């Protein structure tokens, strides 16, 4: 069954995630948003993404621990049935 998110809930979740900036060591930026309409057909049903940019791979564990205990994580669990999480290094 599809889940429809209310824009105000998405905005609130995004604000909660962004509030981690300055609190989490190594967190440079964090953004949450919906996919562009042109790419919706490739999203496999996922309708939101959060991208956290860290100073380096040594900060991933600390970010993950902080995020797991954050208000944004609790709210995310209420909003979304399923998630995919992975880390990339560039």
Q: Which of 47, 32, 51, 50 is nearest to 90 (CA)?
A: 51
Provide the CATH number for the domain around residue 19.
3.30.70.100
Q: Which domain holds residue 42?
A: 7-79
Q: Which phi and psi angles does 67 have, rounded to 5°?
A: -65, -40
What pLDDT, on the 0 to 100 scale, is given for residue 57?
96
Residue 1 pLDDT? 46
- Judge whether 86 lies within some domain: no
For every one of its 90 residues, what pLDDT tens digit does the chain have, with 9 covering 90 and above?
A: 455 657 888 888 889 889 999 999 999 999 988 899 999 999 998 988 999 999 999 999 999 998 878 888 888 888 888 889 899 998
Question: Is pTM, for the whole model, over 0.85?
Answer: no
**Whether 23 contacts 66, CB under 8 Å:** yes
- Please give the tally of structural domains in the chain: 1
């Amino acid at each position: 069954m599809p889940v429809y998110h209310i824009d105000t809930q998405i905005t609130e979740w995004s604000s909660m995630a962004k509030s981690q900036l300055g609190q989490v060591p190594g967190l440079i930026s964090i953004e949450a948003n919906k996919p562009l309409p042109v790419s919706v057909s490739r999203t496999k049903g996922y309708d939101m993404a959060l991208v956290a940019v860290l100073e380096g791979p040594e900060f991933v564990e600390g970010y993950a621990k902080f995020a797991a205990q954050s208000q944004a994580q609790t709210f995310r669990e209420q909003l979304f049935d399923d998630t995919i999480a992975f880390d990339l290094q560039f």
